[in-house]
């Protein structure tokens, strides 16, 4: 029905961040400057007495995750409702997705209190699933909407990635610090009689877990720093790319669709090498991934909500024709690739017999 996004107040170019953190190592500078990212929105650490950025304690990082997440999440949800022509009292189900911090209760309870949503709003928190979690959350939301025809469900991705930074001058942390940005994104879903069929239907989901790469992407405790720390293996782009064709094949199986029937590809902005690897393995063009690369350029990797920022850009273009199909693809820790098949309303299609209207 509608989507909404929000980011922190301040953004920084990669050159500005190198200056802020006084990074001189040429290898690390090269990682920042060759990331295909121009700007990212971040909540940076406070300045110390000498003008340098003070390193935050784990407690301060968790507090930032909570405060920044509530603020961004509330704005994204309100923007989503406005675009869906709905009100706060219409929300009957709220699924919040986040992996950049830990807290109990989760964002769903905090956002319900912050915005004054009805106290009987059903809720779910999806945590610890990383960048692919947006589609895990969307699967839960569409399932709930299908079981509650006409009622409004919201999925809200909240990622304060700057609350997951460790600065130690190593290549491991520098790769992470050069890539991720802060942001929140929400999508409204309705199903069945009474639904406003202004957006696409979710036809099908397909997943692919790669157990041998379970440790390739992880966010766990680092004893040396006394903080949680995110790790990306250098093989991640190739692992994801090598499995992309298989999961898309299973997504389209039984639909009567071929890959070249897909008009729109919304792929997670995981990083330059990840996008290139998926492009090559699925034989996609630069045009097919223009929104993915555009979001990476302007926001960095926004983790679970990245694909909704790209989806917003597709809708804003106004190029979607009735009856067209689109594929959503995200990837993250597990290692896992998640996909969903969309179909826009209109344009009678004989191969649409298995469509589940949402």
Q: Catalytic positions, please? A: 131
Backbone angles phi, psi at 114, to 5 degrees: -60, -45
Burial (CB count <10 Å: 0-12, 13-18, 19+), residue 56:
buried
With residue 317 as reference, give the H or E element that holds it: helix 306-317
Three-state SS for 194? coil
Residues 6+ positions from 82 with CB-CB distance below 8 Å: 2, 4
By residue count, the chain amounts to 358
Q: How far apart are CA 293 and CA 266, in angstroms?
A: 10
Residues 6+ positions from 55 with CB-CB distance below 8 Å: 45, 167
Three-state SS for 266? strand
DSSP state for residue 260 in the 8-state scheme? G
DSSP 15-41: HHHHHHTT---HHHHHHHHTSS--EEE
DSSP state for residue 305 in the 8-state scheme? G
Torsion of CA 262, 157, 178, 40, to 10 degrees: 90
Backbone angles phi, psi at 9, to 5 degrees: -75, -25
Among 326, 297, 325, 322, smallest CA distance to 309 is for 297
Q: How far apart are CA 209 and CA 211, in angstroms?
A: 6
């Amino acid at each position: 029905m509608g989507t909404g996004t929000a980011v922190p107040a301040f953004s920084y170019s990669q050159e500005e961040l190198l200056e802020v953190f006084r990074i001189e190592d040429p290898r690390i500078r090269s990682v920042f400057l060759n990331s295909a990212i121009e700007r990212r929105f971040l909540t940076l650490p406070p300045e110390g007495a000498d003008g340098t950025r003070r390193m935050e304690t784990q407690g301060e990082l968790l507090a930032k995750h909570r405060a920044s997440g509530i603020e961004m999440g509330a704005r994204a949800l309100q923007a989503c409702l406005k675009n869906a022509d709905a009100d706060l009292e219409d929300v009957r189900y709220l699924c919040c997705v986040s992996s950049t911090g830990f807290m109990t209760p989760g964002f769903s309870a905090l956002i319900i209190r912050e915005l004054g949503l009805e106290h009987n709003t059903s809720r779910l928190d999806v945590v610890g699933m990383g960048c692919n979690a947006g589609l895990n959350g969307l699967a839960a939301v569409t399932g709930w909407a299908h079981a509650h025809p006409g009622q409004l469900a919201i999925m809200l991705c909240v990622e304060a990635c700057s609350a997951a930074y460790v600065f130690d001058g190593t290549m491991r942390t520098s790769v992470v610090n050069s890539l991720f940005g802060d942001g929140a994104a929400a999508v409204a879903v309705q199903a069945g009689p009474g639904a406003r069929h202004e957006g696409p239907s979710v036809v099908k989901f397909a997943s692919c877990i790669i157990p041998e790469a379970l440790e390739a992407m992880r966010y766990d405790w680092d004893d040396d720093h006394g903080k949680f720390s995110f790790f990306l293996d250098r093989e991640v782009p190739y692992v994801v790319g090598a499995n992309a064709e298989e999961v898309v094949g299973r997504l389209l199986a039984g639909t009567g669709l071929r890959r070249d029937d897909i008009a729109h590809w919304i792929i997670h902005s995981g990083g330059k090498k990840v996008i290139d690897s998926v492009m090559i393995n699925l034989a996609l063009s630069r045009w097919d991934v223009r929104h993915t690369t555009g979001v990476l350029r302007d926001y960095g990797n926004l983790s679970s909500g990245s694909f909704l920022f790209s989806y917003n850009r597709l809708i804003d273009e106004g190029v979607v024709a009735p009856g067209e199909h689109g594929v959503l693809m995200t990837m993250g820790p597990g290692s896992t690739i998640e996909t969903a098949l969309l179909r826009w309303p209109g344009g009678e299609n004989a191969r649409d017999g298995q469509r589940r209207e949402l």
